[in-house]
Structure formats: structure tokens, C-alpha cells
Amino acid sequence: SQNRSGVLHKFKGILFSTMSSEELLNSLDSFDAREDDVFLVSYPKSDLVEGTHWIAEVIENIPNARLTLTSPIEFGDISKFEELKMVSKQRVIPTHLSYDMLPMKIKITKCSYKVIYVVRNPKDTAVSLYHYYRDNPNLPPTATWAEFLELFLRGDVVYGSWFDHVLSWEDHKNDENVLIIFYEEMKKDVSKTIKEITAFLGIHVSDSEINKIAWKTSFSEMKNNAARENYDVNHTICALTSNRNLVFRKGAVGDWINYFTSKQKRVFDELFTEKMKHSELARHFE
């Protein structure tokens, strides 16, 4: 495979793709958030990106909602803020940033902007990120699953430790402007999730409209559209690639069982127990 070692850099101790310039990361605090901004947040990896992708698609299909999807806030260089300023509609801004790295204005004002955070079983997340590392030219290749898992457990992967990321957002789960959605529950009951999202955004949508949105945004439909829309930079949900074909893997719940040896599972579970002992969210994954 081509030499891809130069594709990551560290910022404040956390690995980022060079698609997020240091200058942009350094300037995040100067970002001018608007009161009606909606941030769509997830830890990075293909299927979860598919999940946030689906939510973006849902939001764009809400009748009469003047919402528009931007590309991720940390994707690109310093011209990003000018680009975001030009968006006249209400912005839906994707990001993989942990809470701590959010622009200062958002953390201080806690005004009426809203955050939807999508979280998924960490074992499935690890498997998915492993595939993402292998397929995405913007990430360094990793030789084996075992080697990758060690990096994942150490937090030596893009956007740092899954555990720290989830805990940073969990600290804000009771903020009224934060909605936490579980990937597994979203896959299980699409209409219920759409109801949750529209209620959270304060948009009234009838049951028949919810069913229509559910049908229009079904995962198989989106997969078919992915290839067609691959050139549309506005549909970049992931700060690591604008290639939508990389975003859609099979997204199976519980796929981790085909990768983890019993020893790997034990090591993972020990770390999980230690890191997440005070976490309420963690109970969803036990």
C-alpha cells in the first residue's frame, strides 16, 4: 500500500487527520456560533458516520424545516469559517470533536443551539474504525486487527480515546440542549428516533410525515444514493473523507464477535469496567 505515514498530526495530545489543519483547530474558539445551530456529533468511524449521515438525511427531509447540512467544522483550513458564514439557512454542523474541543462560544453561552450526539457499542466501534483505517487513504494503514485494537485501547487513534470522548459528552447529557442517541436503538426503531429528533428540534411533524421520512431515509435507500451523490461535498459528514462510499459499510450490530478473541474481549472488558465505572451510558453496552 502507498506510504501514508504523513496523514496524521497531534493537536493538544490528540491525533487528527491532516484534513483538519492545525491552523483551523487552533482557531476553533473564534468560531461564531449562531443561536439556532444544530451540531451533529459522533466519535469517528464508518458505520457511526452512516448513523449521523442518516440523521442529517432525516433533518433535511423534515417538511418546512429550513435546515441545511454543512461540512464538518474541523474539515479543511481556516477558510472554513468564511464558508460557514455564507450559509443563510439554519445550519446543521457535523463534527467528531469531543466536548472539550468545541468552540468556546458554544460552551460558554449554552444558548439555544442544539447538539445531537450519537454513540455506539465500543466493540463494534473498534471493528468499524479498523476497517475505516484500512480503506481510507487519509488514515495510516494498520497491519493487523490485533495491532489496531491496541492503538484503539490506548487512544492512539484519530480523535483520541473512545472512552474519553463518550465521557466528555456524557458530562452534558442532562443539558437541555443535548440529545444522546444510541446507534443500536436507532437501527431498531427508526420512527421512534425520528420522533425524538423532531421533538428535540422543536418541530412538529405528523405521524404520517414521520413514516414518510422513515421510508425515504431507510439505510438501503441511502446506500443506493451514496454512489450517486459521491461528488456532493455538502454531504460530507465525516471530517476524514468526502468519499461517501467509504462511509457505508454493513453497519451490523454485534459484528465485533467475529473479530475479538476471548483474550481480547477480556482485556477490553477490563478497561471498559475501569474507565466507565461511573458512566450511566455504559450500562447500555453491558
Q: Which of helix, strand or coil describes residue 197?
A: helix
For residue 214, what is the enclosing H or E element? helix 207-216
Alpha helices in 15-114 (DSSP H): 22-26, 46-60, 80-85, 104-109
Lookup: cell for 189: 426503531
Integer CA distances (angstroms), 181 to 178, 187, 192, 248, in order: 10, 11, 11, 19
- For residues 64 and 142, what is the distance between their CA atoms, to the nearest angstrom? 45
* Angle formed by the axes of helices 262-275 and 162-170, nearest 10°: 30
Name the phi and psi angles at 24, rounded to 5. -65, -45
- For residues 52 and 218, what is the distance between their CA atoms, to the nearest angstrom? 13
DSSP assignment of 111-148 equals: -S-EEEEEE--HHHHHHHHHHHHHH-TTS---S-HHHH
96 belongs to the catalytic site: yes
- Structural contact between residues 96 and 236, judged by C-beta atoms closer than 8 angstroms: no
Integer CA distances (angstroms), 95 to 16, 25, 237, in order: 12, 12, 8
Name the phi and psi angles at 38, rounded to 5. -120, 125
Q: Are strands 8-11 and 14-17 parallel, antiparallel or unpaired?
A: antiparallel
- Catalytic annotation, pick one of 9, 53, 96, 172: 96
Residues with a known catalytic role: 96
